Structure 1
């Protein structure tokens, strides 16, 4: 792949990642704001419902129903206080002007539940008000209505008297409670009077508990405080020390709240509650973003791997061509000499050329076998023929062989025990160790140390050299198939890049491990095998 194309792909991937993260962030922000608005609305609704429920229950508990019995005319208008008031009005008024008395509204409030004694007391106070009314008779317009009720006196339990404007009396019965009032609505031939007493006092703790109940039903966990304002001045608050520095508030929109008053619910920052509701969306968005980013990075990794494989493939083809070319050219030259230069008559030359051809063909055969064996390493087709052998003897022979072939190198062998028997495939195990020694000879320094150390259940075989070492960024790739450490002209050192890959796979098939430890001054390959 060309460098320009790869660069454009990287730019496209980076742009896609940034756009994905930006879109997901914007979506989560809008979702968070919407959830925050919903939480605020639910808090507002909880406050309004709590106030409505409080006043509704208060009205139901202080409910009085009055029913008329047969009228009692035992006393006339002259015998009662209202009659006397009206009589005086008649005496002091001219004949053309009709006296009128109007009582527009009598409002009775109490901090307690209304008992019979308190109701009687309030009625007596009303009588006194009517009695004192004649002191201001000159400024009062009296409106006479036919059979309009002026005063109702509650006597004992469920009994009372209503005084009419003509002085007559009517016996009445009264019932307390909303249930009784609802039942009386269905009875015919009666005209009940329904009175609901509204208490001016407020039970703040009860409203506070109702608010908490409403919030709990909506699964909202917040610290709250109920505040009552009169004429924009704080009149009462339920809590103050539990709230944080950053507070929020909503005002009740209930119709029970008076014009000059205000009910406020103060609560702490609802961000945590909002985040709880946004958690699922944020989590799914995070997973989606993570999947997109991971996929793009994985695609970039695959592209780089394909690029590296293309480079390795080209190097492999070049190396194979170079390695195969030498023996093929040697054999071709020998055959050409035999055919064209009458070397058949010279038996020694013929034998020499045939020997050279045989050596090169064996070398070519070995290279082909290595390639074929490498192809079978990743599959289950390679079957190991294990047997118990003395590995100290095998490795010592390999050390002596490489020392004989490379006289310019110093190869030392040592072991802590002798003999050491392991159950291995002798052919493949010998090739694996030989590859490590050959690698040290080709790429390492002049001194090579081969050591065997058998302790308890493990045998360690190390091959160390005093070369320049391998860079850290290349150490992870050193065991890859067909990989060769860049050394300028790769044809200076023969190989296909399959030696270390082959060794690692063979050792792993023996239930062992092959590791690399390299610094600037040395490189150490270690084989660890179990003592079976």
Structure 2
């Protein structure tokens, strides 16, 4: 029987709604993650700027000039600058010679070592490499126009002293502007120089990351929380969709199952209204028997739904000690009466095994498995028993159409029915195997299935001995 149009529309609407919610959730997660990353990047940039400012301030406290580092070396530096300036005035030195003379100064190594020691002494928490580069060397003589001997952007090639090999990962700490007044041949002149100090703190990235540890952990926790909530919400949506599909299938199935006996009862009631039927005892009894059977069928459907509303820990078992092989043979004999065309084989590897079981519920559970095999195309059923350590094994193997691997995990779920090929039209409420699982669990046992599509199925029930 086909599903009602309204149910199909409802399922379609639910799928669209879930897909829309998933798309919205993914978009929201991406946006929130992007915002989180932006905030972390902004914080990182702020921490880097803050770190640079700290280094600048601490170096500024160490020295405002080189005079307090080594006055002799500074004096030699000023003397060199004066000599080079006078030789330039005399025409003995070109601008290139002046530049080379400054950069190849003899106090380069000594002054580098002095500054390095001062950093190590006054800034013990940081390992600092530095370079002081020459930017400008300009002479002013009387009122003449300034004579620019040298003026360039900071380059490591113009390093006066220091141990840095590159300025790529270094940052500017400060500029040193110096002026020197002198007299050459009774003419006053002024020398303007500009040096820049660049420093690079070894492992500065790790220092920044350690200072950002709380922010990073909090951000990571936030992102993981968002992802976790997204996954939980996604699982809930998928579960809701499955529940909705199951509910729709159950309503359609129960409607289908109820319509047949109700229609039969309606027709039988109308037939009984005919006088000729009432006067014919044989016809009358036949109709009454039909009504009785359909009434029993309705009652059976209602009882099945009610019984399966209980969990395994809510089922009240009436246990008694029974000889299991005799119990199973009785079930087989009764089943043969109802299904004479089905060939049933028994291979009991155990004898006189006494177990404490609920005969009524376990009989119903085993009959559900047998009827399920017939329902899904089986002609031959084999029942085997054996003892595996402290467990009693009952296996029911059939030659039906089998079950695909991806469907097997759902077999024992409430209301689940395999919809594959022509099985969509198979009658049932999807409660039989669920009931089997609940009864076996109530006996502290387990049930599993092994099957391949087109190769039948084997259900194994394990009970404690």
User: Do both proteins adopt the same fold according to a TM-score greater than 0.5, normalized to the shorter chain?
Assistant: yes
Partner of 1:280: 214
Give the secondary structure class of the aligned counterpart of 2:293. Answer: helix
Match of 1:369 among 282, 288, 303: 303
Name which one, 1 or 2, has greater alpha-carbon Rg. 1
1:367: how far off? 1.5
Deviation at 1:253, TM superposition (A): 4.3
Is 1:39–2:48 an aligned residue pair? no
* Equivalent in the alignment of 2:374: 441
Match 2:169 to one of 212, 224, 248: 248
> Could you list the runs of 5+ residues in structure 1 that have no partner in the other structure?
60-107, 111-199, 216-222
TM-aligned CA deviation for residue 383 of structure 1? 1.9
**2:448 aligned to which of 498, 515, 523:** 515
The equivalent of 2:104 in structure 1 is none
Does the C-alpha gap of structure 1 residues 346 and 444 become closer, same or farther in structure 2, counting only changes over 3 Å? closer
TM-score by length of 1: 0.61
**Worse overlay, 206-215 or 432-441:** 206-215
Corresponding residue SS for 1:286: helix
Task: Give the match for residue 405 of structure 2.
Answer: 472
2-side partners of 1:354 and 1:31: how far apart? 85
How far has the Cα of 1:4 moved from its partner?
4.8
Partner of residue 213 from structure 1, selected from 112, 115, 124: 124
- Cα shift at 1:508: 1.7
Cα distance in 1 for residues equivalent to 2:316 and 2:167: 74
Equivalence map 1:372-451=2 (5 Å): 372-377=306-311, 381-451=314-384
Specify the SS of the correspondent of 2:170.
strand
* Whole-Å separation in 2 of the counterparts to 1:306 and 1:469: 28
Counterparts of 1:431 and 1:508, CA distance in 2:
14
Q: How far 1:492 moved relative to its partner?
A: 4.0
Aligned 8 A contact 2:387 2:393 in 1: yes
Q: How has the CA–CA distance of structure 1 residues 29 and 270 changed in structure 2, closer, same or farther, with 3 Å as cutoff?
A: same
CA distance in 1, matches of 2:113, 2:246: 87
How far does the alpha carbon of each residue in 1:53-86 deviate from its partner, in whole angstroms, 9 at most, with x for none?
x998x99xxxxxxxxxxxxxxxxxxxxxxxxxxx
User: What displacement does 1:372 show?
Assistant: 0.6
Q: Number of residues paired by the alignment?
A: 382
Q: TM-score, normalised by structure 2?
A: 0.68
Q: Distance in 2 between matches of 1:488 and 1:454?
A: 37
Give 1:499 deviation, angstroms. Answer: 0.9
User: Does the 8 Å CA contact 2:315/2:442 hold for their aligned counterparts?
Assistant: no
Aligned partners of 1:434, 1:46: CA distance in 2, in Å? 87
Which stretch shows the higher mean deviation, 319-328 or 429-438? 319-328
Map 1:136-215 onto structure 2 (within 5 A). Answer: 203=114, 206-215=117-126
User: How far has the Cα of 1:229 moved from its partner?
Assistant: 7.2
Q: Which structure has the highest helix share of the two? A: 2
In the superposition, relative to structure 1, how do residues 459 and 483 fare at CA in structure 2: closer, same or farther (>3 Å)?
Answer: same
Could you say what the CA RMSD is over the residues aligned between the two structures, in angstroms? 3.9
Aligned residues of 1:389 and 1:421 also touching (Cα < 8 A): yes
Aligned residue number for residue 262 of structure 2: 328
- In structure 2, stretches of 5+ residues that fail to align are 1-9, 74-110, 136-157, 180-192
